[in-house]
Amino acid sequence: MEVPDRYHGLDALRGIAMLLGIVIHSAMPYIPNVEEFWPADASSSELINTIFQFIHIWRMPLFFILSGFFANLIITRKSWKNWWGNRFLRIGLPLILFSPIMSLTMPWIFRYGGTGEFRFFYSGEGQPFHLWFLWHLMIFAILTAILRLPYLMGVGGLNGLRRIGLGFISSIVEQTGSVVLGLLFRSRFPIVLVIVCCVINLPTFGELIVNPVAGGLYFAIGYSLYGNAQLFSVLKSYWKYYFLVGIVGFTLYMILESKSGVADLYITDATGEGYLRAILEPFTAIVVSLKIICAILFSYAFIGLSENRFGFYNTRLRFISDGAYWMYLIHLPIVTLTTFLMFDLHIPIEIKFLISIAVTSIFCLGTYKYLVRSTFVGILLNGQRKSR
């Protein structure tokens, strides 16, 4: 398979997934049993909850898979050092710049949502929560730098074992590693991968925010996918089947979850005692496993769909993919304040949901287009823009 200069479809997919953060956070006040975690409106909506659950189930796993894919792309075409430098500029600096902005806006907005009281104050408490995805990516970059250090010094890896007379061990490691990697990351029917993901994800009910090990596994899936022409071709050709099986799994998940309350358990259990329930109670484990299976199926489906149908240059999709990072960084204060301001409006909550999506999207896209895209901030977030 010919390797393209740019994966336009995956770029667009990454951008759309980032924009869906606006939908996710617009939905939060209107989903059931969220009060202990997020300020809630007076009533909830099953329709909005279904939309939320569908997007939430695959969005962050897909983010990590795409991050791993593009990491391998940069490393293969350039170098590890180039990727580490890219991570510092594209992730480290935005964290430094935007963390104080989150501390300046989110605490008083959340207090207003919970109490109706407007009182401006600054607080750094809990701020990694709002940019947690970026913190995880920085952890991965730092860990890979540590793990690669022996290789950079010329003493690591299988060649290092051979040089000190342990060639038979290096051969066993090489053969075993090839089989394990094949079962984990190269199978079109990723049964072993699903099992491993379930084991790692169960303690946190499939949520990645406090489970960087699970996020790292998805990152490894994406890293392995780049350069795996056979699997990539399968995803492009058979994405419909992954999607259809995912829909069946998601429908079953929603039915079972409504009877078990697993989705609420992670939100309301702040003590950590519920972690054991995910492992020890068979029904809970089944529901969580369905959630994890759907995450992989939908991720594979959307990766295949994006490159099958949108693997070419498109001006509008390119604008979305370029602007999505900026929108991810700034949307949360806008969308939360917008939804909280509408708590006292006596209109259907579905209309409130749509209004918050529209207001936040217009603000974020407008500021990107007119204030950011052609500035140093736009270059920092997306690099130098090219026409194709």
Backbone angles phi, psi at 154, to 5 degrees: 80, 20
**Dihedral sign, CA of 105, 111, 112, 113?**
positive
Which pLDDT tens digit goes with each residue over 17-39? 999 999 999 999 999 888 878 99
Note every long-range contact of 253-262, with CB atoms under 8 Å and residues 24 or more positions apart, other chains counting: 253/53, 253/57, 253/287, 253/290, 253/291, 253/294, 254/50, 254/53, 256/283, 256/286, 256/287, 256/290, 257/53, 257/287, 257/291, 260/284, 260/287, 261/33, 262/205, 262/287, 262/288, 262/291
Which pLDDT tens digit goes with each residue over 73-96? 999 999 989 999 999 999 999 999
Tokens found for residue 334: 């806008």
Q: What is the pLDDT of residue 271?
A: 43
Three-state secondary structure call for residue 44: coil
Q: What is the pLDDT of residue 34?
A: 84
CA 26 to CA 352: how far, in whole Å? 9
Structure pTM? 0.88
Q: What is the pLDDT of residue 141?
A: 92
Instruction: Name which of 214-218, 246-250, 308-312 the model is least confident about.
Output: 308-312
- 127 DSSP 8-state letter: G
Mean pLDDT of the chain: 83
CA 240 to CA 359: how far, in whole Å? 33
Q: What is the pLDDT of residue 207?
A: 87
Q: What is the pLDDT of residue 259?
A: 73
What is the 3-state secondary structure of 52-87?
HHHHHHHHHHHHHHHHHHHHHHHHHHCCHHHHHHHH
Banded model confidence at residue 63, pLDDT cuts 50, 70, 90: very high
Q: What is the pLDDT of residue 148?
A: 75
CB count within 10 Å of CB 340 equals 22
| Vertex 61 angle, CA 57 and 62, to 5° | 100
Which pLDDT tens digit goes with each residue over 137-170? 999 999 888 877 666 555 555 454 444 444 444 3
What is the residue-wise DSSP string for 149-217? HHHHTT--HHHHHHHTT-HHHHHHHHHHHHHHHHHHHS-SS-HHHHHHHHHHHGGGTT--TT-HHHHHH
Flag whether pLDDT at 302 surpasses 90: yes
Q: What is the pLDDT of residue 384?
A: 61
Which pLDDT tens digit goes with each residue over 110-143? 999 998 888 888 877 755 577 899 999 999 999 8
Flag whether pLDDT at 184 surpasses 90: no
Overall average pLDDT of the 277-296 stretch: 81
CB count within 10 Å of CB 14 equals 23
Q: What percent of the chain has pLDDT over 90?
A: 49
Flag whether pLDDT at 72 surpasses 60: yes
CA 284 to CA 277: how far, in whole Å? 7
Banded model confidence at residue 268, pLDDT cuts 50, 70, 90: very low
Three-state secondary structure call for residue 221: helix
